[in-house]
Structure 1
Amino acid sequence: MEKRVIVYSYYSPEELTGIGKYNGEMIEWLKGQGLNVTSFSNAPFYPHWRKYEGYSNPWYRKVKNHIIDVRSWVYIPESPGALKKIISEVSFFVSSGVALLLNLRSVRRCDLFLVINPPFFLGLIPLIFSKLFRFKVQFHIQDLQIDAARELGLLPSWLCSFLESVELFILKRADFLSTISEGMKRKIEQKGITKDVILLPNWSDLRTIKPEPPSRWLHNAFGIEESKKLIVYSGNIGEKQGLEIVIEAARILQKEATLHFLVLGEGLYKKVLMRKIEECGLENVTLGNLVAKEKLNEMLNGSFLQLVIQKSEGADSFLPSKLTNILAAGCISIVTANPGTSLHDILTKSSAAIVIEPDSVRALSEAIGNVLSKPEMATEVRVKARNWAEANLAIDQCLSPILKIIT
C-alpha cells in the first residue's frame, strides 16, 4: 500500500534560499520515491520578508504535480525583529492548526508526519494528532532556534530558559529526531535527548549545479565592468551573518582595482550595510537581490570567489545553506568557522574551502589577498570542493534514512 507523508513547515517550498528551498526539493524527492506527499506551508516570503509575486496569502488547498498543497495565512512583518518574527511564527501555528483540522482526512491517514523546525513549537499539534491517529512524528531540525537566540543575545536569558524547557518537552515526545550536522546533533543530545538523532545533511542538485566556464552574465546583470573579479556573498542579510566585516574588507582592499564586492540578498541588515557603504564612500561594493533559481549556477560560476560569513556565536546552532551549492559548483570560497564546529571540521579535513576565524576583518582581507596571489591554490580548492560535493551532497544519499523510517 502507498505510504503517506505530510511535510509541515513555516517555510514555503518555493523560497529561493534557506529552509524553504530544501523543503521544496525534499518534497519532490519524496514524491519521486513513490510516496503520497501532502505539504502544509504558507505563502513564500523568505528572505525578502514580503510575499512573492504571484502568490496569495490566505488559506487554500490544491493538487500540484500529484502533491497535495495546503497553504495557511501568515503574518509577514516588513522589519522582522525577534518579537515580530515570533508573532509571525505563532500566526502560522494557529492558521495551520485550522488547516490541519480542515484536512483531517489526510492527517489521519498519514504514516509519517515530518515537521520541519524551526519554529521549535510547530510540532505540538502533530503530537496531539499522533496520539489519536497513531502515526509517527519526525522533527527535522534545520536550525537550533533558541540556542542561536541565546548565543546571539536576541532574547532575554530568562525567556530563553523558559523556551528551552518547552522545546525539550516537545522534542522528547517525537518518534524520530533528525538534523543536518554532527555539531547540531551533539547539541540536541546535550539537551537531555536519549533517543538516536538521525543525520540528514543538506544536499545539492549535482546535475544542475556544477562547474562551468565562467560567463559574464553576473557582471551584466548588476552593471559591473566585465574585467572585475567578483567577490560574492549571496543569502540572508541578518543578525547571524555579521556582514559588516565584508564592507570593512572592501574598504581595506579599495586599492585592488581588479576586485569588486557583490552582496546579494534581503534582510533586516541590508539598510545598515547600505549606510555603511555610503559613509565609507565605497565604489567597489554593489548591493543587489538574490538571483532566480534558474540563474543560480551562472551566478556561482561567474564569481571569482564566494563568501560564507557568519558570526562566531551560534556557529553550531545553524549551518549556512548556501554552502552546498557553492561546493557543488566547484567555487573557491572563504568560510568563517571556529575550530571544533562541524563546519570547520568538514572543510579543513577536505580542503574544500578556505576557512578563517569569524568576526575578523584582517583574516578576511588576508584570505582574499592569498587567493589573488596564489592562483594554483585556488584551482586546487575548486577541484576539492566539487569532489567533496560529489562524495557527500547527492540528495539520494542525504535523504535515504527517511525511507528506512517510513518502511
Structure 2
Amino acid sequence: MKILIYGLNYAPELTGAGKYTAEMAVLLASRGHDVRVVCAPPYYPHWRVAKGFAWWRYRHEVLDGVSLYRAPLWVPSKPGGVKRMLHLASFAVSSLPLLAWQALWRPDAAMLIAPTLMCAPGMLMLARATRASAWLHIQDYEVDAAFDLGLLKSSRAARVARWLESGLLKRFDAVSSITRQMSTRAASKGVDPSRVVCLPNWVDVATIFPLEQPSKYRLELNIPPEQKVILYSGNIGAKQGIETLADAAALLADRSDLTFVFCGDGAAKADLMKRCTGLTNCLFLPLQPFERLNELLNLADIHVLPQRGDAADLVMPSKLTGMFASGRATVAMARRGTALYEAVAPRGVVVPPDDAKELVAAITVLADDSQRRALLGQAGREYAERELSPESTIRTFEDRLSLFYRQDLRGKSVKTAPSYFEPRPAPVAAPQAPATAEEGAPE
C-alpha cells in the first residue's frame, strides 16, 4: 500500500510527536508499504532549526527507507500564543506545493499528524483529488490546549476555532488518538464513534531496558552510588508543569542524599533554571543523543512526570513509555480518571497536579524504600513488555485501513470512496512501480 504521512515533526527530533511519527513510518516501510512523508526541518524541542538544515528551503532525503519531503518553516526563538499560530501556519502554507507533488504519486492512504490541524484542509483536498483514505492522528489537542492552558485567551476566538476543528475532524475517514480518553474526546467533537480509533504510543523494550550496572551518567555527573536520583527527562515546555519540580527540589534541599536531574530543552527551560538558582541538589543536562537514552533513563532511582491540572487528557506525555521500560519507579502528577492516572496508578505513584507538597511526600517515601522502588519498576517494565509493543499499534492501523478496501472479482485491491465524497463506483487501482530515491521535491 502507498501511504503518505503528513506532519510537522519528524526525525531526527528525539522527543514528542516527531519521534513516534518517524518510528511509525519506518515500521510501515519495514512491513512492505511504500511510505512517503511531508514534514518540516527538525527544530523541536530547542525551537531552532537543527544544524545542517535551513528553515527557508525545500529538501528531499531518504532516511531509514522512507522518502522525506521537507517544507520551509518559520521558527520563533520565543514561542508565544500568536507566534505559535504563525509558526504552524507557515508550515501549512509552505507544504502545499509538496502535497500537490504527492497527488501525482496517488497514495492509497493519507495520514495527517496533529498538531497541526492547519494542515487539514490541504490533506483533505489531496485525499479528495486522489481518492485516498483520509486519516487524522491526534498526538495533541492543540485547539483545546491553546485556550485551556492560557496560550490564547479570546473566548470568541475559542468558539470559532472549536467550530472549525469539529468541522474538519468530521471530514476524515478515521480519527485516532493515543489514549482511550483522547479518542473519546474526538467523538465528543462530533466524529462518528465508528470512525474513532485508539492508537497508543509505544516503546521498543529491546532498546530501553534495565541495566544491571549503574548508569555511566553517575560517574560523568559525579553522583555517588548511595545518592538517589530524581530524574525528569524530556521537553521543558508550558504544558509540563515543570515549575512544580523546582518547588519540590527547594522543599527537599535539606536531604543531602537526593539529587534532581533535569535533562532536556524547551521554551520553559530558562524559567526552570532561574527557579532552581542556589539549589545545590539540582543538575541540568541538555537533550541527550538517542543512543544514550537507555543510559540516561537508567540514571533514575525515581522518574518524575509533572503535568498541569488543566492539561488533563489534552496531551499524553510521550516520555512515559520509556520510563516504564527502564524498570525504574515512577511518580506522576495526574487527576483521577485521566489516561495518565490510569496508566501510572497500578504500577507507580500518582499525586495531584500542581501540588509540590504531595510530590515531596511521594518522593520521600520512595527514596527511603528501595524494595518498593524495585517492585514498582518491575511492574512498569512488565507493562511495557506486555502492552506497549509498536507492532500491535501498527497492526491496528493496518487492520483499519483494510476496511477502506475491497476485492473485485479479479482479486485486485480497489479503493472505496472516502465518506466525504458522493458515492460512485470505485475504480480498480492500477499497479505502480515503487518510488525511487531519485525522485525529489520541487525546489
- What is the TM-score when the length of structure 1 is the normalising length? 0.95
Matches within 5 A, 1:142-153: 142-153=139-150
Q: Tell me by how many angstroms 1:171 deviates.
A: 0.5
2:103·2:130 contact (CA, 8 Å) conserved in 1? no
Q: Tell me by how many angstroms 1:226 deviates.
A: 5.1
* Residue 398 of structure 2: aligned partner: 403
The CA distance in 1 between the partners of 2:99 and 2:126, in whole Å, is: 10
The CA distance in 2 between the partners of 1:243 and 1:43, in whole Å, is: 27
* Residue 210 of structure 1: aligned partner: 209
* Residue 173 of structure 2: aligned partner: 175
What code does the residue aligned with 1:217 have?
A: K
* Residue 201 of structure 1: aligned partner: 200
Q: Secondary structure at the match of 2:121?
A: helix
Matches within 5 A, 1:298-317: 298-317=295-314
* Residue 32 of structure 1: aligned partner: 30
Q: Tell me by how many angstroms 1:224 deviates.
A: 4.2
What code does the residue aligned with 2:41 have?
A: A
Q: Secondary structure at the match of 1:211?
A: coil
The CA distance in 1 between the partners of 2:108 and 2:336, in whole Å, is: 41
Q: Tell me by how many angstroms 1:347 deviates.
A: 2.2
What code does the residue aligned with 1:61 have?
A: H
* Residue 436 of structure 2: aligned partner: none
Q: Percent identity?
A: 32
* 1:60 aligns to 2:59 (yes or no): yes
* 1:252 aligns to 2:251 (yes or no): yes
2:215·2:298 contact (CA, 8 Å) conserved in 1? no
2:259·2:281 contact (CA, 8 Å) conserved in 1? yes
The CA distance in 2 between the partners of 1:101 and 1:187, in whole Å, is: 31
1:6·1:114 contact (CA, 8 Å) conserved in 2? yes
* Residue 110 of structure 2: aligned partner: 113
Q: Tell me by how many angstroms 1:102 deviates.
A: 3.3
Q: Tell me by how many angstroms 1:227 deviates.
A: 4.5
* Residue 387 of structure 1: aligned partner: 382
Q: Secondary structure at the match of 1:303?
A: coil
Q: Tell me by how many angstroms 1:310 deviates.
A: 0.8
Q: Secondary structure at the match of 2:382?
A: helix
* 1:341 aligns to 2:338 (yes or no): yes
* Residue 85 of structure 1: aligned partner: 84
* Residue 99 of structure 1: aligned partner: 98
1:111·1:406 contact (CA, 8 Å) conserved in 2? no
The CA distance in 2 between the partners of 1:347 and 1:277, in whole Å, is: 27
What code does the residue aligned with 1:181 have?
A: T
The CA distance in 2 between the partners of 1:347 and 1:303, in whole Å, is: 17
Counterpart among 122, 125, 132 of residue 122 in structure 2: 125
The CA distance in 1 between the partners of 2:373 and 2:235, in whole Å, is: 26
The CA distance in 1 between the partners of 2:263 and 2:226, in whole Å, is: 20
The RMSD of aligned alpha carbons is 1.4
What code does the residue aligned with 2:68 have?
A: D
Structure 1 residues 54 and 225: alpha-carbon distance in aligned structure 2, compared to 1, 3 A threshold: farther
* Residue 322 of structure 1: aligned partner: 319
* Residue 46 of structure 2: aligned partner: 48
* Residue 407 of structure 2: aligned partner: none
The CA distance in 2 between the partners of 1:321 and 1:295, in whole Å, is: 17
Q: Secondary structure at the match of 1:313?
A: helix
1:213·1:301 contact (CA, 8 Å) conserved in 2? no
Deviations 1:350-407 (A, max 9, x none): x221111110011110001000222221111011001111111000112211111333
* Residue 366 of structure 1: aligned partner: 361
Deviations 1:8-50 (A, max 9, x none): 1011222110100001110110001100000110111100111
What code does the residue aligned with 1:387 have?
A: E
The CA distance in 2 between the partners of 1:307 and 1:67, in whole Å, is: 34
Counterpart among 114, 131, 135 of residue 134 in structure 1: 131
What code does the residue aligned with 2:274 have?
A: R
2:177·2:198 contact (CA, 8 Å) conserved in 1? yes
2:110·2:123 contact (CA, 8 Å) conserved in 1? yes
Moved more, 60-69 or 114-123: 60-69
1:180·1:202 contact (CA, 8 Å) conserved in 2? yes
Deviations 1:317-346 (A, max 9, x none): 100000001111112111011011111123
Moved over 6 A (4+): none
Deviations 1:193-212 (A, max 9, x none): 22421010000011111111
Q: Secondary structure at the match of 2:85?
A: helix
The CA distance in 1 between the partners of 2:213 and 2:48, in whole Å, is: 32
Deviations 1:245-271 (A, max 9, x none): 111111111121111111111122111
The CA distance in 2 between the partners of 1:65 and 1:302, in whole Å, is: 29
1:306·1:333 contact (CA, 8 Å) conserved in 2? yes
Deviations 1:89-139 (A, max 9, x none): 100001111222234322xx2000010011122121111122222111100
5+ residue gaps, structure 1, are: none
* Residue 292 of structure 1: aligned partner: 289
- What is the TM-score when the length of structure 2 is the normalising length? 0.87
**Normalized per residue, which structure has more helix?**
1
The CA distance in 2 between the partners of 1:103 and 1:390, in whole Å, is: 37
Moved more, 24-33 or 154-163: 154-163
Q: How many residues align?
A: 399
2:328·2:374 contact (CA, 8 Å) conserved in 1? no
The CA distance in 1 between the partners of 2:81 and 2:214, in whole Å, is: 40
Structure with bigger gyration radius: 2
Q: Secondary structure at the match of 1:237?
A: coil
1:214·1:302 contact (CA, 8 Å) conserved in 2? no
Q: Secondary structure at the match of 1:362?
A: helix
